[in-house]
Every structure is written in structure tokens, then in C-alpha cells.
Structure 1
């Protein structure tokens, strides 16, 4: 049977417009962050709309698979064409259904890539391909159910049950349930799901689907086929559980994959290439701030390298010699310098009284020419009568310190940073 012939008789003709309308609504209402947040990282841009569409794609595959199977059963196709391969008949009926479910996954991803002006990469195909394979498995499961269940009742029930079973795993424990469901959360800049992360849900869904297909074998005792099918399905389920049982909330991810540019020495500053236009400015500000603070008597060892938080795991850049901070957001003058300044002022205590902390920061901002950046940060925190009173006290203290000799200022900053621990603030 040709594809066009199968399409004319398929449920996709009446279900397709409804499904694509739902896909559009999911896409428009499910966007939780602007695409610019992903900085042209194709895997993240693709994953963002998929997060709310996996369940819909799988439910469509399963439900319409039930409908197509019931339609063939009502038409007595199996009795009229006993010599034809059951697999070929099922494939012809399910092909339009599978293509529709693929459109649910691919169209929103393509739209997001176009809107953001981002070129897709091989890594960005991992999650769509995972969803496409699992959609085929759900269609096979639905087709099998439709061969024994009443069509009109089973179709909506399977749609709802399938959607709930996938969508609700995001909010359930144990965590392995979400990892084998085919429901994947969005990913961050520079991240890509490891192959094992996408293989686990494919193993579960594929194992069940292949097990059901073994029941259709045209030879062998029915009992033997049943045992073989059950064994394959259980192998898929247990294998997926074994792989994911110890995973935390987030499945294994490869991180720090975005291309990075570096410049300068002492410190060497590195940023993702997508923000490299700010690289020279960030390095210059960091170098000037560190040199000025060292000359002013601020204790501590300057870093040899400063990296963006998005270029790898947080633990990879820990330590005094490598600093990690939000450089990609530092697209305004003094943004990078202010972050470096705050990082360089190391209090002995983890929690510091607000007046003491603000006094140190304002003093350092004045010495490094970043008073405006300090004031902007305070405005972002909110202006209240209490904050105005605090800043008035801070300003008076800092003016007094700045009026002292350089040696006295150096002693003051060292003493303040090493003061005893009391009430806390950030």
C-alpha cells in the first residue's frame, strides 16, 4: 500500500489538525525563558520546547495506534489478507501516525532554531532522535492493545493514561522513573545528554515494543512466543532500571562542550565564543581590579585564570588559582570588574554583618573606580528606608577610611576582612 493511500484512510486526517493545534498551544504557552538565554547553544534551544511535548507525542502515537489497529480489525483485514505479513500491514497503518508524532517533536524545535538564528548541530539531534524512536515504540504498544480492546473506549483511555504516565514522572520519585520515561528536562549552555541518558528510555520502550512484536511471529507455538516476548520485554524494563536506579535528579550530562576563547595573562580570562566580543574588556577590567586591590593592601592570591560558570562543572574551577563567575552576563562596563572585586575580597567568616560587608565593597569600588556598579547592585536589591539608613552609615564609614593614609587603609581592610564572626548578611 502506498503512503498516500494509507494516509487517506488514516486517523491522521482528522486527528492531525487537532494534534498540531495542541502542539502550537504547548509551544506558545510552555516557553519558560527567552531563547536568548541559551546563547545559540543548539542542544539547549532544541530541548526547551521538547520538555513539554514528549508526553503529547507519545500519547498521540499510542492512542492513534490503538485506533488504527481497531480499524483494521473491524475491516477484517487479518482474515481477508492472511498471506500478507502482519508486520507490513501494521507498518503501513502506523506510518502516518508515527510521522505525526515526529512532527510534534520536530516542528517546535525547528521553529526555536529559526527564531534564535541558531544552526543545528549533531549533539542537538540526540533528544529529538530519542523521542522519535520512543514514539515508534508507543505506536507499536498502542497497535497491540487495539487488536484486543474496543476501539472507541480504548483510544481516549490510552491517550490519557500514556500522557499521565510520562508527564507526571517529572514530579515523582524514585528518580529512575523519570529517567526511563522518555521525558527529558531542558539542558543548560554547554551541556549535552550523555548517550547512556538517552539510551535508557529507549531500552525500556524498545524492549516492550519488540517483545510485543514477537507475539506476531507467524511460526512457533503460541506459548513459546509468549514466553519469548515476556523475556524480551522484561529484559528491557530491568535493564533500564539497572542503568538508572542510582541516578540523581539530573541524568548524566556531558558539560563544558561549548567552544571557548581565552586572552591575556595574570589573569587569563576565558569565555564561550558566543560572548567573545566582551572578552578583552573583561580581561582588562579583571587585571586592573586585581592590580589596584593588591596595591591597596587587600590580602590573598590573585587567580591565574578566570572562567565563565557555563564553560564546565562548578567543581572543575574551584580553588584560589582558578575563579569561575558569570562573565557572559558581564556585557556592561565594570560588570566583570565588579564580580572580580567581590570575589577578591575574602571574608574570614561565611556570614558577615551587612554594614561591614557593604563598607568593604564600597571602599574597594571607590578604589577601583566602580562606585556606579556598586550603587546599581544596591538598587537592584531594592530601596527601602532600612537600606537607605544602612547605606548612609556605610558611606560615612567609607569616607572616614578613605581620608586616612594608604598604610592605615591597608591595615583597615585586612582587619575588617579578618574580623570575628557575628550576625549574617549577603
Structure 2
């Protein structure tokens, strides 16, 4: 897909493979540090020593993501998805590297390596099929993002930064307790850990009401309009098919004895004076089939309302009539088209959703 947020979201999905590798490398580095810590005289601050050991791991993680983003966003045409998704990748690299180091400082090497491989992978893959839905919005790898009509919801960034940031901070607190000189009091790490947990709770609260999708509707001002059709810039190849299909669909609608659609434009989203019935297909036949199915629902304001079975049946019958008028195969299962003279009655009985 030639849509920058979708391409960037695909890069964040690579974290499911990269995070276990980063955590495993961090385990190795921190376990080596743990073995040598009591045997050598160390004059530098503990956190500087730990950062130096983990710097190569962090650098490799960042460089791999830079390479993935360069490939995804420069080809086939340069585009920028905004800072949200790259920020999620950066926070993920920091969090899972720190997590691996913490494992090595509290567990044996073999157990720490096993946990480093399993925990990040499961945290990044399993929530896609779990409830509550907020679980899938706090791991830094948004699922089902993004179609050209969607952008990443900013609450996902807040939720993921809150939780992954807490993982990183708690891991550093563990390192402080294990590596800091005796004059450092554990209560300081405990206070920071509590603050991190509060931040994680705030991130979870931000996404608690988001539902299953990590997206929101893309702003309509990004649309490109060639009246009467409006499309996103990435879908410009579908203009001709939508224009021809709309002329045929609106004519077929009135040929059925139904009132002409009182709209100026059609597009991919519902807006003032716009019906959300366009398609990204470049085939006129496919566009006609889509409009036959969607036009009755869009005019009745029922695109997302399927709560009334009787109304849904009438809308399906109208779609079947429209498909027959347009000469396309309907995609409505076993719904049989009534006689065309029934169309006005069916339309009167449909009413409007939300009334």
C-alpha cells in the first residue's frame, strides 16, 4: 500500500521478531557484567557502566529500525507518516533492551535467556486476540493500522509510551538495586518504580475506551476532489472507476423511481454533503458492485447500523435491485431482488437510522 502510516505500522510489527533478539543480547551483556561486578574495581557510576554495556544493543536496534523505515518510506515514493509510529519503535527498543538487562541481573543466565525470548514475543503477538481491547494498544505495535481512511489515534502513543516506559524504568530500578553501591538506598528505586506504575496506569486509562481499532478517521481536508468524487491522494488511480460507477449508480437509482441522491460528492468517509461509497478498485465493474451494495445504506444513514433485521432485509433488497439495474453480480448471499416497482415502497419502509 502506498500510504505512509500503513507502511510505518508494518515496520512496528517487526518488533515482534526484533524485541526478543534485543532482550537476549541485553541478557548476555548484563549477565557478563553481573559476573565481573564484584571482581573488578569500578570507579564510574553504575548506570554509566550499564549504559556502556547496552549501547551496542541499543544502537543495533535503532539502526535496524532506521533501515526498515528507510525502505518502507522511501519506496516506492518518499512519504512521512508523522512521528508517532517511529516514536513507538524507539520506545520499544529502549524498553525491551532494559527488560533483558533486568532479567540477567535477577535470574540465572539460562532462565533469563529463555524469558528474554518468550516474554517480548508473547507480549507483542498475543494481545491481538485478547480482551480487554486496551491490551492491544499498549505494546507499541498497533494491530490493523492503517487504511487510507485512517490515522493512528494519539491515545495509542500515550498508552504504549506509558506502559513501555514503565517497563524501561522498572528495569532500571532493578539494575540500581543490584548494581548501585551500598550507600544508595533501595527506597529511592521503590519511589521511582511507583511513579512508573502510575504512568503505566495513566497510559492504560488513555486507551481503555478505544475499542479494538488503534485508529481514528483521517481528516477530510486531506481528500483530493475531482467533483463529484473525492479520494485520498494514495487512491488517485481509482478516480475514473468511481466517476463512471457513480454516474451509472445514481441514474439507476432514479430509474427505480427513487428520489435522486441529494449530495454533491461521494468519498471514502461520511461528511457533510458527501456519501461514503467510494472504492479503491480501479475496475468500473468492481466500483459498480460496491456502490450497489453501499448506496442504499449510505442514503439511509445505516452504514454502521445493523440493529434492525427487517430494515436490513429491505436495504439488501434495494441493493439487489440496484445491482440488477447496473448489471453486476450482487454480493448479498441469497437475497432475491424483488420486482423493480417495489423499490419506492421498500424505500419508504426503510426510514432512516438514528431517528
Question: TM-score scaled to structure 2, two decimals?
Answer: 0.76
The reply to whether residue 230 of structure 1 matches residue 193 of structure 2 is yes
Residue matched to 2:230: 270
Structure 2 gaps, min length 5: 301-309, 351-355
Mark the CA change 1:152 to 1:83 in structure 2 (over 3 Å): closer, same or farther.
same
> What is the Cα deviation at residue 226 of structure 1?
3.4
**Aligned match of 2:7:** 45
Q: For the structure 1 residues 150 and 334, does the alpha-carbon distance in structure 2 shift closer, same or farther, using more than 3 Å as the test?
A: closer
Match of 1:70 in 2: 31
Contact 1:58 1:134 in 2 (8 A): yes
Q: Secondary structure at the match of 2:106?
A: coil
Distance 1:418 1:194 in 2: 37
CA positional deviation for 1:334: 5.3
Query: RMSD over aligned Cα, in angstroms?
Result: 3.8
Q: Describe the SS at the equivalent of 1:118.
A: coil
**Does 2:283 align with 1:324?**
no
Cα offset for 1:257? 6.4
Instruction: Give the count of matched residue pairs.
Output: 334
Q: Displacement, 1:107?
A: 4.3
Compute the displacement of 1:236 (Å). 2.7
Structure 1, unmatched stretches of 5+, are: 1-37, 366-370, 399-408, 422-426
Following superposition, the deviation at residue 317 of structure 1 comes to 3.8
State yes or no: 1:253 paired with 2:212: no
Aligned with 1:60 (options 21, 24, 37): 21
Deviation string 1:188-245 (CA, Å, 9 cap, x unpaired) is: 2242213331221222221242244353666854232232233223223322222233
The 2-side partners of 1:56 and 1:228 are apart by 33
The 1:72–1:174 alpha-carbon spacing in structure 2 relative to 1, beyond 3 Å, is same
Query: SS at the partner of 1:350?
Result: helix
Deviations 1:137-164 (A, max 9, x none): 2211221221232223321233213322
SS at match of 1:189: coil
Going from structure 1 to structure 2, the CA distance change for 1:325 and 1:101 (only over 3 Å counts) comes to same
Aligned with 1:176 (options 113, 134, 149):
134
Confirm whether residue 290 of structure 1 aligns to residue 250 of structure 2.
yes
What's the offset of the Cα at 1:68? 0.7
CA contact (8 A) 1:211 1:232 kept: no
TM-fit CA distance, 1:281:
5.9
* Structure with greater Cα Rg: 1
Q: What is the CA–CA distance in structure 1 between the aligned matches of 2:221 and 2:315, rounded to whole Å?
A: 39
- The verdict on how the C-alpha distance between 1:231 and 1:414 changes in structure 2, with shifts beyond 3 A counting, is closer
Structure 2 distance, partners of 1:136, 1:126, is 16
Q: Provide TM-score, normalisation by structure 1.
A: 0.65
- 1:69, distance to aligned residue in structure 2 (A): 0.7
Bigger shift: 58-67 or 216-225? 216-225
Deviations 1:32-53 (A, max 9, x none): xxxxxx3x101102223533x3
